[in-house]
Structure 1
């Protein structure tokens, strides 16, 4: 293979038999498998001295050596050079050695005498591991840089999701909060405010609008930072939402008075420094995260009632009389939406969401025909949307269940709605799974056809994936899911079936058969064949001739 432009790795050969080291160092085409420099050592001590002086990526060591064994060397390497990969060579087929090696995280275990092809394949696999790890480390560093660069936006997106009712488990929420460095923990007191611009910004382009939002957000942080952490986002109505989290310790005066003073100062700061006028609505105190959606919905309601379309209104602070119990079907509308889940084919999540919505109906709105009707319309429209997006009619997918829908609601009870939803959902899921299986079967058929056509070549998963224009990981997963075996297992079986056919029906020599099925090394072919059939190719041919 070509190595121009690729990273070359350093390898260290260790064996107390100098002839073994010298032979391996000069007879293997190391450059072909990504090895640039081959170092040599004849004891564990020499190996450690060599690694102290030179960077080594892969160590190949014999187990049985005087003074310190290869296992001792591996243990030292793993302690001092954690990223270095180790391959063990042993003339003893004893499982205990492999066990000890595995405990020391070895990357390969080969029995002596080892063929050149076996050793090259093993080293090539280890080089692939190193490249994957390096790629993952690089990707991690890039991801962390992107995370730091976009931290304010990502914080805003999390707040936005919580306001819309997105549900996260306490552990998952805390993990996100820690990752994004949001200064809040579950159970903290939190205050929310809505900010609306009093001027019409229709003349602003998106970039200018973003700058204005950024500037107002910065002024909010500066105004409140002496007593509050500020967490902010732009909501779906283009309001600036401020979540104010008290800093640790007691606030210096009654918190209502302190908030009123700071909010007024914030409004003045925006007018003074940005020459813009804003309206600010301050809500009631709540608890993070349980109160978030309710607090936000109450703020929107009061904004509509108190502010309306007027823009020349001052700061307004809600009191308890403004707080209302909002009668909403929360589970249907909270993200991710039903349509998005169905669009992505997350059928288990769709089923859970539907069940949660029906449980909410049963628990709170079982006597409300209006809420049952609302739920039906929402679910019916979601199913219709997905059917139409897939180029089908809902009536064709759900048959007689659609007739009930022509009356706009299947019944006025949650029980009957549940039955209708279950029937329609089951038909949707069966249809989607059938389409998916058909697509997967087609992929498997194309992969097998390509492998059969290139049986005499040592093709890789990457080559097959490139031919099918699929990601290797996806192809591997689909193939295993459909057939129950790996692509490499199928390829080996295909080669061996072909070799049996040639051994039985042709007079080709063993080495010719080996080349015909893609094994360049006849000895390796013999070993694979015997492992599978219990006989060498010649023994198999002889047994068939006698039978």
Structure 2
């Protein structure tokens, strides 16, 4: 709550009194800079002071007890409830002593009689600053302890996940105990394995790149609180718990964002494998092996995202298991440059639009509109590499009539504007 100024911590002071001469006297005749303080506001009553406190941090409030509107006692009640770290110093006349006592019961820090108050105010402010410093010291110590606890908790949680991935022998009771101790959910999850490949032989897989990718992934999948940890030397394992929330964060479009982001690092290439959904954390090793199978049997594939299916088919499960979905995807790929929508696709497949929409979402984890938009943006990326094509022409070529809408959609999915993407492509 203090403000850095000239290398010093300046404590923020507000003066509250209905008499202008008193406010000006306190502001003028006390060496506030010598106290490492600055006056940030002068208020004529408690209501004005409360309005200021609602939008601005103040360290110390010096207030009269009797004022029109809201008085010092009502101000003390507000500070105690809504700004408890703010120190309130009461200015009181002899006849206001009972009010001052009441204000102290409401958390006021000190009270000063109005007879020759300036030196008393200075001393009270010094005591208030000392109290603030002591509280800040205790808070820093508490925060440090909390940070250590959280860090250790995360490390123990990741170690537990790694043990499950590596199939370290654990009894069912041990697994149950550790899921409770480390606050692991592990019900209804996907496992994603990201392979980080070095393109430039002279480049080293630096820790800062992995940390950057990890932070990016945490942000993308924040709705499901992902657990992300390294596996061996060139893999990142991501466990997405509570798959019911993934309808708000579809996996494929989200992974495409990290692929686009990684294009800023031409020395590396990313590839991902996605397991089937699993219902218990005890199946994490199985989910991990599914991802490994994808990489092993698709070593030469140019696809950036590989899927595992129960039939060991590593193309998208929806395309191998459901003919209507396959037809819908084929129709999109053949007609993405036209003005098509859900009803057009449903007519081509021969299904009711609502039923097809639910089926597509269930099988692929994304809506038809999301799949269509994603496909159009991927095609747009290819066209953007041709410098002779105007942005408007590219938008029309992938099914967008409005170039502004195209640009906004592109940025939402790719994480950058079409122009930025083209510039990065040219550099690479």
Query: TM-score, length-normalised on structure 1?
Result: 0.29
Query: TM-score, length-normalised on structure 2?
Result: 0.36
Q: If you compute each CA radius of gyration, which structure gives the higher value, 1 or 2? A: 1
